[in-house]
Amino acid sequence: MSLNLASLLTAAAARHPRRPAVVLGDAVLDFATLEALARRFAGVLRGLGVARGQHVALLLPNVPWFSVAYWGAHMSGNPVVPLNVLLTGPEVAYHLQDSDSVVIIAWEGMAAAALAAVEKVPTCRVVVVTADRAAAPPDGALAFFALMAAAAPIDDLAATMPDDPAVLLYTSGTTGAAKGAQLSHFNMYYNAEYSGTRLLPLGPETVALVTLPLFHSFGQTVMHNAVLARGGCLVLLPRFEPLAALTLMAKHRVTFFGGVPTMYFALLHHPDAGQFDLSSLSLCVSGGAAMPVEVMRAFDERYGVNILEGYGLSETSPVASFNVLDRPKKPGSVGLPLEGVSFRLTDPTGARVTAAGVAGEIEIKGHNVMLGYYRRPQATAEVLVDGWFKTGDIAIRDEDGYYFIVDRSKDLIIRGGFNVYPREVEEVLYGHPAVGEAAVIGQPDERLGEEIVAVVALKPGAAATADELIAHCKARLAPYKLPRVVRFVDALPKGPTGKILKRALRG
């Protein structure tokens, strides 16, 4: 039996053709129009000779054309590779090459990075979306709207199978390059359906403010796919800014908001927050990083809502556990596993942890777990054992079965909801001629959750300033990966084997 993720959209469009689906500024697409445009984009891909199963990369912010290209690619049977819009040209090139993408759809503000990338990946073509539909694309790129105007829309959705790849979400570890987690049509379909029906009471009256990036697993599944599948409306905010978010919430009578903890902190503490009527807001969800309990309580109290916190990873589509409306919320907890999803905790030896209150690594098994990492069988085998996905996150379980994240076995830094992997930053620092040793750690930050700190020992006789090292990183890394603080030391602390002791640096 075939299953195509895009059937979430086509079914919703059949039920609610004239209801608004996507709003950006004064532009509104209803469901019938969104579906028609997606079918036409599927025709664009066919016209370009993109074969079923070939990968289509999206370098698009939260604009309606993300939805059009996302659903259209699925309609034509092409897995989508959503890319972080902050990536530099070399970073985009790596992702295009690693994913074997044959087309990249880029917003005009990201066109330079896309064009720089395809110089290194000539098998990929660039299609540029412009704010002005009549504008000519940059040299070397194809014009999105000209292609759309000339394309014939497809009639039938590609007959993809439940286990066919639908999305490649890129994630990294501290010991290697970014990897593409392959999520199937069933992974993504069921996670969105479950989120919008069993976890959250979404429906045609839902108006969601979508400022979480759509290239991110949380924003894509919970705020995009789940809301549209239930006939709700997306109010897009391409870049989070608290005053803009508050303005849109009041203007559009937003009922549903999803964000990372730093967004809630910013909304709560904005000096003009009290001037906006947010009485329509009834449902809020948080993920991406641990929500400070005091921020959650203060936001709930001020706005009369009930922030529900969940947990998941790119490799789990992403939702794996959630606090639910019909059971008591436990602040600080990531809730209970979804139905059909199993959690277990293991100690460092791999033995099962069964006692409540004892910490162990979370392992996950269920319908939400990825197919594996694209073209990386060894990396897949390291994290997927007998169907159990080893998360690297340390948690405890209480007597009621609720899980609480207590630590991360990896050195992952979460800055403002974005994952930053220290080794990537360290490799860039080591590329500076004055750097002898470098270690990157996170330090607690009230606003961002964590801030990035580089601890550096210079080579004998070498000189460099903190500003110089930060500028060196800025030329090579996306802005959210930049160390904001540089500490200079004579030597980094090491253990008996010579391994740098980051725990000593955190102090």
Share of the chain above pLDDT 90, in %: 80
Query: Lowest mean pLDDT: which of 247-251, 292-296, 369-373?
Result: 292-296
Burial string for 465-497 (b: 16+ CB within 10 Å, else e) reads eeeebeebbeebbbeebbbeebeeeeebeeeee
Residue-level pLDDT at 175: 45
Share of the chain above pLDDT 70, in %: 97
Tell me if the bond preceding 422 is cis, omega within 30° of 0.
Answer: no
Residue-level pLDDT at 332: 86
Alpha helices in 111-260 (DSSP H): 111-120, 144-150, 185-194, 217-218, 226-229, 242-252
Rounded mean pLDDT, 472-493: 94
The one-letter code for the residue type at 248 is: L
* DSSP for residue 328: -
User: How does the average pLDDT of the chain come out, rounded?
Assistant: 93
Domains of the chain (ranges plus CATH)?
32-184 (3.40.50.980), 413-506 (3.30.300.30)
Alpha carbons 348 and 317: distance in angstroms, whole number: 26
CB-count burial class (<10 Å; 0-12, 13-18, 19+) for 26: exposed
> Partners of 20 in the beta sheet?
30
pLDDT tens for 108-138 read 999 999 999 999 999 999 999 999 999 999 9
Residue-level pLDDT at 497: 40
Task: Flag whether pLDDT at 407 surpasses 70.
Answer: no
The one-letter code for the residue type at 52 is: R
pLDDT tens for 429-455 read 988 999 988 889 999 998 999 999 999
Range of 103-117, 287-301, 405-419 with top mean pLDDT = 103-117
Question: When comparing pLDDT for 325 and 222, which is higher?
Answer: 222
Alpha carbons 153 and 168: distance in angstroms, whole number: 25
At 220, the pLDDT band (50, 70, 90 cuts) reads very high
Beta carbons within 10 angstroms of residue 33's beta carbon: 18
pTM of this prediction? 0.87
Rounded mean pLDDT, 37-43: 98
Alpha carbons 247 and 26: distance in angstroms, whole number: 14
pLDDT tens for 50-67 read 999 999 999 999 999 999
At 498, the pLDDT band (50, 70, 90 cuts) reads very low
Rounded mean pLDDT, 149-168: 98
Backbone phi, psi, residue 56, to 5°: -120, 120
Residue-level pLDDT at 499: 62
CB 372 within 8 A of CB 366: no
Task: Flag whether pLDDT at 411 surpasses 80.
Answer: no
